[in-house]
Structure 1
Amino acid sequence: MSWTKHSTPEFRAIADELTILRCQVGSGVHGTNIAGTDDRDEMGICLEPPEYVMGLNRFDQYVYRTQPEGVRSGPGDLDLIIYSLRKWMRLAVTGNPTVLLPLFVPPEEIVTMTRIGEDLRANADMVLSRQAGHRFLGYLRAQRDHMVERPNGTRTNRPELIALYGFDVKYAGHMVRLGLQGVELLETGGVTLPMPEPWRTWIVELRQGGHTKDEALAVAAELESRLERLITTSPLPEHPDMTRVNAWLVKAHTERWAGERPHP
């Protein structure tokens, strides 16, 4: 592994000592992974020492990759990012689809969790709002654009999928998954992980060439329309409860600095 500004020994020490929640967030947790082809993606959330919150030091995230920067991850590789709690929360209240996953992963996908991490998951509703619909839409459209605008595999790191299937089936799978999960979140206030059937199998089939690009685009278009409607009709509040979020952040930091330790 090569060092970057986000993977220094100092940052690793902060992440190791102060992580409150760490879990799998990639295709494995969605249940859409293809055996022998996918790496493992994990995300963590850590508190910062007082000097990084009230002083001039700064910690936003710690990054670890099995492979050096610029080298594509492969089967068995680990891609880990651990956000500071404050950065994670800034992303979560906007409805970032990937950042929200630690709130919903099943217990067996959790690598590390402290009491503060448990409390965060128990208060997931404070960060959820219709704003997430805009983010899921944006991510869906980005995946679709990557798939459609690069039909010959140029400027993509998966040209072998283009050669096999005629389009990047991984982008297609992400596109459909994001639509499904965005709709579920706005309708129910939660995301089921792994994805429920029949869509989990459908996406796995899509990733293996079992569905055409046109089929995937048609499904995505219908989900896109539903998301657009739900942005105004969802039972979720229009905005996250920022008063509650800020109070929770203060409480979490002060409690940890007073001596809360991870579960054994």
Structure 2
Amino acid sequence: MSSEFTAGAVLLSGVVGSTAYGLAHAGSDVDRLGLFAAPTRAFHGLHAPKPTYVTTAPDRTLHEAAKWARLALSGNPTVMELVWLPDELYEVRTPLGEELIGLRSSLLCAPRVRDAYLGYATQQFRRLAARGDGSFSADTRKRTAKHARHLRRLCHQGFQLYATGTLHVRVDDPAAYHRFGEEAAADPAAALPLLREFEDAFASTRSVLPDHPDEGPVTAWLHRVRAEMYEA
């Protein structure tokens, strides 16, 4: 934890993004995501504590515990991966953070996982389509290929989570993702069949997840966080 962060205690933090997915290449940024607990007294003043801190060099995003929980309960794919990382990618893992990892299934429900992952994948396709016919600069081509890789990952990971209740952050066959990215960079329309395939897969598959998340254990965890961060 770098010295500029003084707003509370980091409970859980790790390396996410392309490094976690196994898609990083030379020159890729190393992204970090975490959650922190603000001092409990900060919630009783005139102004609520800042809910998110974002820094560069290193690239890191920290959400306050309650905000992180709300985002996770909404099915947010980026936030969700924090509690499914391989052990070696965690950099901060406190007892309260460990508890949260143990509660990760309580955060899930079928409609929100489906809508969030398919929604984010659709956003990536719209970004691809906005790039045109592939006749653009090398830098734009790289960004377009990245959008395509994200689309493929969101489809595969989202459907896996929906169908099995488990998320594997590191992708299978990274080379296939890079090939797909290059194909879509040359012709963005090439990504549409994959998106349609997974829209059909979600629609035709019965999820193992419940219709609603179990907020009770998450609320109880937040109460323990506030109790630990209380200063008499």
The partner residue of 1:65 within 56, 60, 63 is 56
Higher RCO, 1 vs 2 (CA within 8 Å, ≥6 residues apart): 2
Per-residue deviation at 1:144? Answer: 0.2
Aligned to 1:4: none
Deviations 1:126-164 (Å, cap 9, x if unpaired)?
11111111011110000000001222689xxx9524457
The alignment's C-alpha RMSD in Å is 2.6
Contact 1:25 1:101 in 2 (8 A): yes
Aligned to 2:42: 52
Whole-angstrom CA distance in 2 between matches of 1:246 and 1:183: 27
Whole-angstrom CA distance in 2 between matches of 1:135 and 1:229: 17
The partner residue of 2:6 within 13, 16, 41 is 13
How do 1:1-264 residues align onto structure 2 when only pairs under 5 Å count? 9=4, 12-15=5-8, 18-36=9-27, 38-57=28-47, 58-66=49-57, 78-130=58-110, 131-151=112-132, 159-162=137-140, 168-197=144-173, 200-208=174-182, 213-230=188-205, 233-257=206-230
List gaps (5 residues or longer) in structure 2.
none
Structure (1 or 2) with the greater helix fraction: 2
Matched-pair identity in %: 28
Aligned to 1:71: none
Q: TM-score, normalised by structure 2?
A: 0.87
Whole-angstrom CA distance in 1 between matches of 2:70 and 2:169: 23
Contact 1:49 1:257 in 2 (8 A): yes
Per-residue deviation at 1:35? Answer: 2.3
3-state SS, counterpart of residue 78 of structure 2: coil
Whole-angstrom CA distance in 2 between matches of 1:129 and 1:159: 41
The structure 1 segments of at least 4 consecutive aligned residues displaced by more than 6 Å after TM superposition are none
3-state SS, counterpart of residue 98 of structure 1: helix
Contact 1:43 1:81 in 2 (8 A): yes
Contact 1:161 1:169 in 2 (8 A): no
What amino acid does structure 2 have at the position aligned with 1:148? A
Tell me the matched-pair count: 227
Contact 1:133 1:227 in 2 (8 A): yes
3-state SS, counterpart of residue 6 of structure 2: helix
Contact 2:134 2:187 in 1 (8 A): no
Q: TM-score, normalised by structure 1?
A: 0.78
Closer, same or farther: CA 65–208 of 1 in aligned 2, 3 Å: same
Contact 1:40 1:79 in 2 (8 A): yes
Closer, same or farther: CA 147–250 of 1 in aligned 2, 3 Å: same
Per-residue deviation at 1:256? Answer: 4.2
Per-residue deviation at 1:253? Answer: 2.1
What amino acid does structure 1 have at the position aligned with 2:165? G
Per-residue deviation at 1:215? Answer: 4.0
Whole-angstrom CA distance in 1 between matches of 2:24 and 2:182: 10
